[in-house]
A and B are shown apart, each in its own frame.
Chain A
Amino acid sequence: MNTRRGLFHELITNRILFLMLLPTILFFIINSYLPMVGIYYAFTRFDYNTSLFNSEFVGLENFKFLWQSGILTKLTLNTIGYNVAFIGLGNVLAIALAILLSELKSKWFKKLTQSIMFLPYFVSFVILSVIVYNLFNYESGFLNTLLKQLSIEPVDVYNTPWVWVPLIILFYLWKNLGYSMVIYLAAITGISDEYYEAAKIDGANIFQRIWYITVPMLKTTFVVLLLFALGSIMKGQFDLFYQLIGNNGVLYDTTDILDTYVYRSLKVTFDIGMSTAAGLYQSLFGFILIMTVNYIIRKINDEYALF
């Protein structure tokens, strides 16, 4: 009773503010909530001639192709494994670099380094795949030409699955590090100088200042970015994997993720029901994951949790 009156009261008193919020809410309802009806496609047999709700209900039939070949677990693990590496290494390195850069005195050098690190972000994965192919292909790649010059046995990178685990992580970092570093750099700039000055007066050296001021102050940014990243953990980095590995089945054991699997399967058998099913699986998994992590974070420190 009390809350209901409270809500109504709230609506009346802040009606202008709510009115201003309305377009955004409508935007999300139209673009995000209404299309959710389409989830039902995952449980029906798609038919060109009738509407969605008249289509035949088939239960979990559309999900079958995901586990039919028995590699769903492997795919899920690969996807999560790579993403954990991306998120973990990416954030740690980005924080470290951001701190280093922020401590640099030379403005000119700082800007230059920042730009150089940011530039790979604009290189598309298609171009990256060409570069990588020309680096590593067996007959005429840069690496093997070099090895031959030095009279060392050439290596067949494209037929050696394990090499691709570090390679893919490396290329991901190469491309994305500059971007996340800039976010942390911005967060560091936002830390008030007063803290540092006070610490200096208290006799803290540079390492202590970083460890006791900068790092704790970055925690919130880190947690928010982490939770964001976790939500899409099942989505992987489709472009990266698809462009670098493509059709090379030899490498799938270590490099296949859900996205590429779904893409390849449905490229031949395109079916709206099956693709919705795959999307639903990914989203559901991401949802569960983010709820769990958020729960854990809330247990540890209520203030850092998203909700």
Chain B
Amino acid sequence: MKKKSKGLVMLLTVMLLMSMIAACSGNGGGNTAASSSPADSAAATASPDNAQAGEKTGIDTSKKVELQFYMLGDAPKDLATIQDKINEMALQDLNATVKFNYTSWTDWEQKYKLLLGSGQQVDLIFTAEWTQYQSYAKKGAFQPLDKLLPVAAPKLNEFVPQDMWEAVKIDNQIFTVPATYKEYVTNGFVWREDLRKKYNLPEPKDLKTYEEYLAGIKANEPSMRPIALGADVRGSLVNQIRDIEHKAIGALPYGLGVNYFEPGNIYTYWGSDEQKADLELIKRWQQNGYIPKNVLNINDVIQEQLTSGKAATIFGDNPTRFNDSVIKVQAAHPDWELKYYPFPLTTGIATPVHAIHNGFAIPTSSKNAERALAFYEKMVTDQRYNLLTQYGVEGKNYEVKDGYYQMIGDASSNGFAREGMNGWAWRNPEFMLFDKNYDGVKTIFDELDKIQVPDKFNGFAEDYSTYQAERAALEQVEKQYLFPLQAGLVDNIEEGLKTFMDKAKQAGLEKIQAEYMKQWQAYVTEKNIK
């Protein structure tokens, strides 16, 4: 009896130890194969002019490969059918098949990082400034495409204008294939026009009129949230204020600021009078009830708060997303009316998206770089591929009426909505089909075209390798001490800001700022930005 229990205990001990060890190595394990050598692709590029193997392209297609294609977001229901159709063609054209993978929007940031870091086979992956393209490229997560492009994708090489190739270069090398469709993702006020008319409120054009509108909503519709906000107050409140009020060149991190019209002058925003004024404003909004008290615990999607009638305005949304909201509201509540006012009309900063806003790159882990690039060329420049992956099957998913795209059925019955594969990056303006509803966006774009100015921010590639630890620590301090301030929850702003600044300095703020400023100045001088 006694012996038996001892044996059992021993077994338990071993199991326990194992599980501990397994748990601790879980973070680091599985990455041992992290960097399969890029030698294969290098060897392949070494003999580029040897073009007899493939008929259409200058690459060797004798061996059949399966490409792993990764896009963010959720896959459309009909993806399997589309994939089969694409594979039929790709097998013939390139002796390759492709598997379209989606990350879903939940925790996509982590998944994206793991895709690039774990060494698993990924041949094509979406890139954007909001997925940290610049940093990843700088750290060597993607393969340089300069030599590969003329060989594997000559048509694509021609198709993308030279200045866009220039614009995506990081350290003088191309790491991503930019999308050529010109659009604006600048901010703008979105509000319920029907309520504005009903209560005779001013149209939001700047912070002053916006505040008046909010006051009117609060007074007349007390149960409504005046602004649709989420837990990320930095992204849904503060950045907007800095955009419209301080003409920010972009959303700079680490409490730094640059005015669009003086790019050479980078200043510290945290602790400045400018920030204090902003925080006062937010506190006033909080006290007046425009911002929910528990805003830091709200997890609802901002746009949904508007379209469901929970909130009356969005403080800063882009024209395309605004249009999506309009379509949703029209379907569910035809008596409501939404209206839009672009910030650029007030600030004068109408920047079309930077070339890196939508792109596809080939990760270092890919062994089929040539084929991947050739396939991507097909996606962009071959109308058959492009229409299939953007709009689905004609006659089944959509039809073309008077030159307009029209969905067959509705969003719930149709398994492939317009751009259902989130194909922002491989849009080809020559083939693009627009919904009638999209005319609203085009009107806004036309308006912005008239005052268009170049994007000066997104070409900048931050290299944070020297202050990585400080950066992680700072993020922490920001969440704990600055977010409550930015949600207007701290009564004494002076004091709250001082605590935050002390903690931030302890976390290494000064080192980060100094290094970032240095890099920024170098960027401004090098690219001659004025």
Contact = CB atoms under 8 A, between A and B. Distances in A.
Interface of A: 28, 31-33, 35-42, 45-52, 61-62, 64-65, 68-71, 129, 133, 136-140, 156, 158-159, 220, 224, 227-228, 231-232, 235, 246-250, 252-253, 256, 261, 264-272, 274-276, 278-280, 282-284, 286-287, 290, 303, 305-307
B489 A159 contact: yes
Interface string B214-252: 000000000100000001100000000000000000000
B475 A28 contact: no
Contacts of A42: 28
Nearest to B253: A268
Contacts of A133: 294, 297, 299
Given A247-B483, A249-B481, A249-B483, A265 B472 contact: yes
Interface stretch (B74-82, B97-105, B500-508): B500-508
Interface of B: 2, 5-6, 9-10, 12-14, 16, 18-32, 34-35, 38, 109-110, 113, 116-117, 139-141, 223, 231-232, 292-294, 296-297, 299, 364, 464-465, 468-477, 479-484, 489, 503, 506-508
Binding site secondary structure of chain B: helix
A306 B35 contact: no
Contact of B20 (A35, A46, A49, A283): A283
B36 to A, nearest CB: 9
A103 B471 CA distance: 58
Contacts of B21: 32-33, 36, 283
22 contacts: A32-B22, A33-B21, A35-B32, A38-B32, A40-B28, A47-B140, A48-B364, A65-B470, A69-B474, A69-B506, A138-B294, A156-B293, A232-B20, A248-B294, A249-B480, A253-B480, A264-B475, A269-B468, A272-B117, A276-B28, A290-B20, A303-B6
A51 B34 contact: yes
Interface centre among A46, A47, A248 (most CB of B within 10 A): A248
Contacts of A250: 296, 484, 489
A31 B364 CA distance: 27
Contact of B475 (A35, A137, A269): A269
Given A247-B483, A268-B475, A270-B117, A32 B32 contact: no
Given A68-B508, A138-B294, A158-B293, A35 B22 contact: yes
Contact of A137 (B141, B223, B294, B477): B294
A65 B472 contact: yes
Nearest to A250: B484
Nearest to B118: A272
A256 to B, nearest CB: 8
B23 A306 contact: no
A192 to B, nearest CB: 12
A38 B469 contact: no
A58 B166 CA distance: 35
Given A69-B476, A158-B293, A159-B293, 8 more contacts: A42-B28, A68-B508, A69-B474, A264-B479, A271-B472, A272-B117, A279-B27, A303-B2
Nearest to B112: A270
A138 B489 CA distance: 13
Contacts of A28: 14, 18
Contacts of A272: 27-28, 31, 34, 117
Nearest to B464: A269
A47 B32 contact: no
Contacts of A303: 2, 5-6
Contacts of B2: 303
Contacts of A35: 22, 25-26, 28-30, 32
B477 A69 contact: yes
Nearest to A253: B480
A225 to B, nearest CB: 10
B468 A271 contact: yes
Contact of A36 (B25, B364, B469): B25
Interface centre among B31, B140, B476, B483 (most CB of A within 10 A): B476
A212 B13 CA distance: 28
A48 B468 contact: no
Contacts of B482: 249
Given A48-B117, A220-B5, A269-B464, A280 B24 contact: yes
Nearest to B465: A45
A3 to B, nearest CB: 18
Nearest to A230: B16
Interface centre among B29, B116, B475, B481 (most CB of A within 10 A): B29
Contacts of B28: 35, 38-42, 272, 275-276, 279-280
Contacts of A71: 476
Given A38-B31, A307-B10, A31 B22 contact: yes
B506 A249 contact: no
Nearest to B9: A306
Contact of B140 (A49, A220, A307): A49
Nearest to A278: B27
A141 to B, nearest CB: 8
Contacts of B507: 68-69
Contacts of B24: 36, 39, 279-280, 282-284
B27 A275 contact: yes
A287 B141 CA distance: 35
A35 B480 CA distance: 35
B463 to A, nearest CB: 13
Closest A-B pairs by Cβ, 3 of them: A283-B24, A35-B29, A38-B28
B262 to A, nearest CB: 28
B188 to A, nearest CB: 25
Nearest to B364: A48
A128 to B, nearest CB: 13
B29 A248 contact: no
Contacts of A129: 299
Contact of B292 (A62, A138, A224, A286): A138
B433 to A, nearest CB: 37
A203 B483 CA distance: 66
Contacts of B472: 65, 68, 265-266, 268-269, 271, 274
A268 B471 contact: yes
A306 B116 CA distance: 42
Contacts of B20: 231-232, 283, 286-287, 290
Contact of A306 (B16, B293, B473, B489): B16
Nearest to A38: B28
Contacts of B26: 35, 279
B25 A49 contact: no
A163 B483 CA distance: 20
B16 A228 contact: yes
A193 B296 CA distance: 56
A69 B507 CA distance: 4
A261 B32 contact: no
A284 B482 CA distance: 32
B469 A274 contact: yes
Contacts of B35: 47-51
Contacts of A156: 293-294
Interface centre among B24, B34, B469, B479 (most CB of A within 10 A): B24
A265 B473 contact: yes
Contacts of B508: 68
Contacts of A36: 21, 24-25, 29
